[in-house]
Structure 1
Amino acid sequence: MVVGSGPNGLVAAVTLARAGRRVLLLEAAGRFGGALRSGELTLPGRVHDFGATVMAMALASPAFRGLELKGVEFVHPPLPAAHPLDGRPAVLVHRDPVRTAAGLGRDARAWLATAGATARGGLPLVELLLKPLGPWGGLPLSAFAGAARFGAAALLPATTFARRAFRTTEARALLAGMAAHSVLDLRSPVSAGYGLLLASLAHLVGWPLVRGGSQVLADALVAELRALGGEAVTGHRVRRLSELRAPVVVLDVTPRQLLAMADHLPAAYRRRLERYRYGPGVFKLDWALDGPVPWRDPAVAGAGTVHLGGTLEEIALSEAEAAAGRVSPRPYVLVVQPYAADPARGGHTLWAYCHVPNGSRADRTAAVEAQIERYAPGFRDRVLARHAMGPAELEAFDANLVGGDISGGLSSLTQFLRRPVWSPAPWRTPLPGVFLCSAATPPGGGAHGMGGWQAARLALRP
């Protein structure tokens, strides 16, 4: 039995079913998918993704690569990402690392020696990074050598790494925009690693979208489960584990939900779960536009993802404010332009978010739109309708987004190693036959399905 149908729960269910197990998938919401859901948030016919849109992790993940799902088409924008700057051309991230480096002037060689080198490590290196606790069978020795080189830089704070590795404003800002996906204070250890990994994925597999919306991927996983003889039910909320009668239960929930659901957790394990930390939340906006965003630099129109916030120093200050429990007057804003890759979503739809303190009730609409106007004057004139979701609305939409935390928990160094507890197999709970598979387990947040794959792998052991 699998509880919860986010990407990890769906991968766990399909993995168990492919191994010949009878599987029942239970989802509390009215649709499957968790953060992979899509719907009409603004105007009729406009398809918006509630959560994940960019699927670099899905393309790189061994959990997804072997599924070969029917009806799922990944489409690529002309550019994976762009980073506008004041008074100068935007920094453009191309699939080709050499072409990207060419736009960084004096830092061209440094980019190729860092993000480019990680990309050259290929999928074996990414697979190793997504399986930090193993199993590592079949991976070439080059992946471990690459991981050692990557780790030396990845452990650093993004601010430290950017200043040591790069000399130009452009390269430092680009690294900061990538690293801010971690939702960490960029002065924190390992924040550089998140930035380098995401940048390398742009070169290695691109930052694609699912044609028609992320819901298509979720629905394809459910269809695969049913084709294998499994059952999938929506509108069924599991409140207590004692309700379930199954030899194996895989839970796509975070520690907070497990604590509420479990009847007889050992006291020591309960205390460890109670110490689990959630990170900052996000404030998300979706727009229906009457045309493309009027970027000051027209090249930005081809980017699927746009990082707004200016220089390394500006972005670092914004993220430090969110980590300290304050809202920034000029927040780092992550923008996704689905129409750059997939015009079949009913028109020009756009979404963006900024980071806010966990559980914040602040309305950040004006601040987010001001950052877009900063680089795209006249943007507000294009808005036909908007839809806002703060931390409370996000958690109501998906209980795993505790306080608006889209990463399943703080992505700090200590919690990367202790997610949710110190253990060589943290997906296994002390309760017989009960496993955790959410983003609160390694390797953390992202639409990669690895938590589900790892939990199912353990559940299948004799």
Structure 2
Amino acid sequence: MLDAVVVGAGPNGLTAAVELARRGFSVAVFEARGTVGGGARTEELTLPGFRHDPCSAAHPLGAASPAFNAMPLERYGLEWLHADLPMAHPFPDGTAAVLARSVARTAASFGPRDAGAYRRLVQPFLGRWDTLVRDFMSLPLTALPRDPLTLARFGLAGLPPSTWLTRRFADDRAKALFAGLVAHVIAPLTGVATGAVGLVFALAAHTGGWPVARGGSQAVSDALAAYLKDLGGTVHTDYEVKHFDDLPPARAYVFDTSPAALARIAGFGRYYDGYRYGASVFKIDYALDGPVPWTAEEARSATTVQVGASSAEIGTALHLASRAGRAPGTPFLITVQPSVVDPSRAPDGKHVFWTYGHVPNGWSGDLTDAIERQLERFAPGFRDRVLARATAGPAEIMARNANYVGGDIACGAADGLQLMLRPRRSLFPYSTPHPAVFICSSATPPGPGVHGMSGHNAAKAVWRRLRRP
């Protein structure tokens, strides 16, 4: 009998398996697809030699992850690459606000009326980031806060809606950039704790950057799997689990799946029926004949570029997709250009480019024209550089990763109390109705992102059970 079986080989499932194997437990991982990866994969989606990330591409929370940083993943090929700028947010007039490693450079990009307000906002947390991110990403009740005073101060700033936090800014440049940060988790700008979302991404840029993995996001998953195998764990791919009887006997079972899939496999009935799935995305991967011709110079040297003309435009796009059930005519776009820092991702002189706009859950339309019209506003001539494109709406996104129900890449709506208390309102979110069954996907705290902390936190609950006689 195994000590633990993990279902799903995404970053969280692999992290949970590693944490258990490091403590001497026997572990086996079962993955439905032919390779490990989940939301961290790399494939040739367009043309030969162009290596794209079907889901996550830039990893601010991966570089900051306490779980990843406690592992020797660099020995297994993981290398973080940093561009000159972690993120840029261009505007129609050809200028841009930026998230730089330097607080001063970031503040200056917001203009003289808001530079001081931004420095005052982030300064209290910069010297305490390592402790703060551990406390923030380990909640709830998986570890006592190491710096409760800083965490409480962070909560006072971040628990209100992001629209409250941005009242301290006079101009829209800073407000638009923060609105874009909140949109990374597809949360409405007026939602509880969305200020914390923006702050976490901003602080991550100043302390660890927003890097990409050399060779693609698959490098994160491959490093975790290789480390697991060296620890004695096993990984079985092309093994779809439909029923509990498909799994070998074990003392504990850990699911890196959606709550709906876990309930179906484990026979939990309607236990997770109250869990809500949020808006989806329409994603396009491009093979380009050259770099994106951004009008704003700063955008040309950033790995991540947010595309939205104003905070109002971004808020409207989010509202239409997540509340009104309509695809926005002017979508807010999150884009990543990995080949700015990693030429290995494309043939010489060519580039890979990744972008998505928000659409309703399960939407079946085509947003390609709206996305490219928006890109042309900020990068005239973009269409002329397109060699090939691979589009993916909600159905295709869910086909690539079953955790993304209806195309929801956050693995559950990140709004209201569900942003913090997921998949149920409980202080023990990794537990289930069965004492030997646990959930570790992005449907659990701290939520979406390639950081492994949901798996790390769940593993703590598992090994506490395994230590019992």
Q: Same fold (TM over 0.5)?
A: yes
1:35 aligns with 2:43: no
1:276-315 matches, cutoff 5 A: 276-315=275-314
1:247 aligns with 2:251: yes
Determine the C-alpha separation between the residues in 1 that align with 2:400 and 2:134.
31
* Matching residue of 2:377: 374
* Matching residue of 1:130: 137
Change (3 A) 1:53 1:116: farther
1:214 aligns with 2:217: yes
1:159-174 matches, cutoff 5 A: 159-162=163-166, 164-174=167-177
Contact 1:187-1:316 at 8 Å conserved across structures = no
Cα offsets for 1:52-78 (capped at 9, x unmatched)? 111111121111111111211101011
Determine the C-alpha separation between the residues in 1 that align with 2:414 and 2:125.
20
Report % sequence identity.
44
* Matching residue of 1:90: 96
Question: SS at the partner of 2:306?
Answer: strand
1:72-83 matches, cutoff 5 A: 72-83=78-89
1:5-44 matches, cutoff 5 A: 5-44=9-48
Determine the C-alpha separation between the residues in 1 that align with 2:143 and 2:19.
18
Contact 1:115-1:197 at 8 Å conserved across structures = no
Cα RMSD between the aligned structures?
1.3
Determine the C-alpha separation between the residues in 1 that align with 2:455 and 2:142.
14
1:393 aligns with 2:396: yes
Letter in 1 for 2:86: P
1:424 aligns with 2:423: no
Question: SS at the partner of 2:344?
Answer: coil
* Matching residue of 1:101: 107
- In structure 1, the gaps of 5 or more residues are none
Which deviates more from structure 2 when the two are superposed, residues 92-101 or residues 153-162?
Answer: 153-162
* Matching residue of 2:332: 332
Question: SS at the partner of 2:250?
Answer: coil
Deviation at 1:277, TM superposition (A): 0.3
Out of 154, 157, 177, the residue aligned to residue 153 of structure 1 is 157
Determine the C-alpha separation between the residues in 2 that align with 1:158 and 1:91.
18
Cα offsets for 1:358-383 (capped at 9, x unmatched)? 01111111111111110000000000
Cα offsets for 1:371-426 (capped at 9, x unmatched)? 11100000000000000011000101110011111111111231134311122221
Change (3 A) 1:148 1:96: same
* Matching residue of 1:349: 352
Deviation at 1:272, TM superposition (A): 4.2
Determine the C-alpha separation between the residues in 1 that align with 2:277 and 2:412.
4
* Matching residue of 2:60: 56
Determine the C-alpha separation between the residues in 2 that align with 1:94 and 1:417.
28
Contact 2:420-2:446 at 8 Å conserved across structures = no
Determine the C-alpha separation between the residues in 2 that align with 1:156 and 1:327.
27
Determine the C-alpha separation between the residues in 1 that align with 2:152 and 2:38.
34
TM-score normalised by length of structure 2: 0.94
Out of 113, 117, 133, the residue aligned to residue 124 of structure 2 is 117
* Matching residue of 1:193: 196
Contact 2:8-2:31 at 8 Å conserved across structures = yes
Question: SS at the partner of 1:114?
Answer: helix
* Matching residue of 1:450: 453
Determine the C-alpha separation between the residues in 2 that align with 1:241 and 1:456.
20
Cα offsets for 1:101-133 (capped at 9, x unmatched)? 122221111111223433343110111111121
* Matching residue of 1:238: 241
Determine the C-alpha separation between the residues in 2 that align with 1:117 and 1:54.
26
Which deviates more from structure 2 when the two are superposed, residues 286-295 or residues 171-180?
Answer: 171-180
Change (3 A) 1:417 1:188: closer
Determine the C-alpha separation between the residues in 1 that align with 2:128 and 2:91.
30
Contact 1:128-1:134 at 8 Å conserved across structures = no
Determine the C-alpha separation between the residues in 2 that align with 1:414 and 1:177.
21
Letter in 1 for 2:113: R
Contact 1:331-1:355 at 8 Å conserved across structures = yes
Deviation at 1:152, TM superposition (A): 1.8
Letter in 2 for 1:87: D
Aligned length: 453
Cα offsets for 1:242-274 (capped at 9, x unmatched)? 3222111111011110121123x3xxxx44411
Determine the C-alpha separation between the residues in 1 that align with 2:7 and 2:174.
43
Contact 2:263-2:270 at 8 Å conserved across structures = no
- In structure 2, the gaps of 5 or more residues are none
Contact 1:119-1:201 at 8 Å conserved across structures = no
Deviation at 1:297, TM superposition (A): 1.6
Deviation at 1:88, TM superposition (A): 4.6
* Matching residue of 1:319: 318
Contact 1:36-1:49 at 8 Å conserved across structures = yes
Contact 1:285-1:351 at 8 Å conserved across structures = yes
Cα offsets for 1:271-323 (capped at 9, x unmatched)? 44111001101111000000001111222100110000111111111111111
